[in-house]
With several copies, the nearest count.
Chain A
């Protein structure tokens, strides 16, 4: 099976539902280490994407570009901008394609990760959404079966949370909390778990 417009439309419905479901959880997690708006940012962004689902073109590049724009509109919070950045990077790579195989997931995730890293001027290992993406890119490398990719990605976001839980945040608002962040999950990594699990279906 391959990833096309129809698969994306179906995924958007799952993403939107998951974002609304985790609204409070993400706001609370961000409230503990930041300004408490991450649930709002994610759900609002997904809502805006859901609104344009019917008009999405077959060209996957254009489709992802429109999804990116929805995120740039939603708010000025970091996560929305990073998501838009990642989506735009993938959009550029997919320009003109209407269907791709699951073995491209790793490469595309890595592209998003790198673009977001450049945008946020942050290193890997800082306990951010970048570390979740990095884990996904690595875990899905070399896989070309859709179910295997989904399973690996899903496992990777959990593993990333476990791996970073007891480290100290050094980036974004959470940095100001210093040692207090040890033992706490990064809100952006939690949000990426929500996203990846919804995509995995």
Chain B
């Protein structure tokens, strides 16, 4: 394991300590366990709260997206492990300004159990909660079993649109509907070239030969659709776009945003090489591209690979996507 860290057991707490020390204008820690990140300043009474949560090791996901026009709080677990229900409950508590809280997170068993339990805990405190799950990874289950899919980078779009709706003063039902619409509009797929190492595990999450790639692999190394020889970038991009366009057809007049996302180690140079093909494939359907996102938006530490997310837009989502937002990792407007 080649990482810059101290004791593996302190990896997450030290990361959060550094994050909040470097950006006190954006983030503060909340609660006794130090695993809830909230906005630096309280939001106004009556604003709908948005809370996410999940395992560490995916920066900017999850904690990074706490900020104006985005999330209100986040409960963060050990690397690739769910936070506890109590920590999630704390995140719900700090996010509630009397108008209820949307739980907006990726579809992973542990996270779901704990967020449900957290809801039960704060129910006693009269905090109203709704839930929207991201299940955008087309490689993780068929379209028929869509609700079984894992949540990956598509959540960034949902953070953005729901965050903008909440910031604009929409109520819990409306904010939840925006988040659900965005979740439904997102399709993602990844390709992995190299693994990452969970600090406390000390060994790579998977092994892969020097000339191999795995299309559809999950962000924690979950098995993908096919493993094969590493192909030229254009071929990989085409194969990934085939899967996405199969799952959600596009046609003339459609508008989409697209994210070409590094899983960590893959540099922006390679993302831009891929973007050429992504753009060409989308435009070939007749769709037009709005606000493409190319960079590191949802990662798995030093994992090597990329993911593509296509988010189909309507007028409402397009407007919410370009509304202002501000956190240490992303600014719009």
Contact = CB atoms under 8 A, between A and B. Distances in A.
Interface of A: 35-37, 69, 72-78, 80-82, 84-85, 88, 119-121, 172, 176
Interface stretch (B75-83, B277-285, B320-328): B75-83
A19 to B, nearest CB: 18
A73 B113 contact: no
Interface stretch (B40-48, B114-122, B229-237, B243-251): B114-122
B110 interface: yes
Given A81-B110, A120-B109, A176-B223, A76 B82 contact: yes
A77 B223 contact: no
Interface of B: 33, 77-78, 80-87, 89, 109-114, 116-117, 120-121, 201, 222-223
Given A76-B82, A81-B114, A172 B121 contact: no
Q: Which 7 A-B pairs have the closest CB atoms?
A: A76-B82, A72-B85, A76-B84, A81-B113, A72-B86, A73-B86, A76-B83
Contacts of B84: 72-76, 80-81
A14 to B, nearest CB: 25
A78 B117 CA distance: 11
Contacts of A76: 77-78, 81-85, 87, 110-111, 114
Contact of A77 (B82, B121, B222): B82
A81 B114 CA distance: 6
Given A73-B86, A81-B85, 11 more contacts: A75-B78, A75-B84, A76-B78, A76-B85, A76-B110, A77-B110, A81-B114, A82-B113, A84-B85, A84-B117, A120-B109
B225 to A, nearest CB: 14
A82 B112 CA distance: 12
Nearest to A88: B120
Nearest to B198: A35
A176 B120 CA distance: 29
B223 A119 contact: no
Given A37-B81, A84-B85, A120 B113 contact: yes
Contact of A172 (B87, B109, B116): B109
A77 B78 CA distance: 10
Contacts of B78: 75-76
A120 B116 CA distance: 10
Contacts of A82: 113
20 contacts: A35-B80, A35-B81, A37-B81, A72-B117, A72-B121, A73-B84, A75-B81, A76-B78, A76-B87, A76-B110, A76-B114, A77-B81, A78-B110, A81-B114, A82-B113, A84-B117, A119-B113, A119-B116, A120-B109, A121-B112
A12 B311 CA distance: 51
A69 B33 CA distance: 14
Contacts of B120: 88
A170 to B, nearest CB: 12
A80 B85 CA distance: 9
Nearest to B85: A72
Nearest to B111: A76
Contacts of A35: 80-81, 201
A184 B295 CA distance: 43
Nearest to B223: A176
Contacts of B33: 73
A181 to B, nearest CB: 14
B111 to A, nearest CB: 8
Contacts of B87: 76
Contacts of A37: 81
A74 B82 CA distance: 12
Contacts of B112: 121
A15 B110 CA distance: 24
B86 A69 contact: yes
Contacts of A176: 222-223
Contacts of B81: 35, 37, 75-77
A85 B114 CA distance: 10
Nearest to B53: A76
B47 to A, nearest CB: 27
A124 B119 CA distance: 24
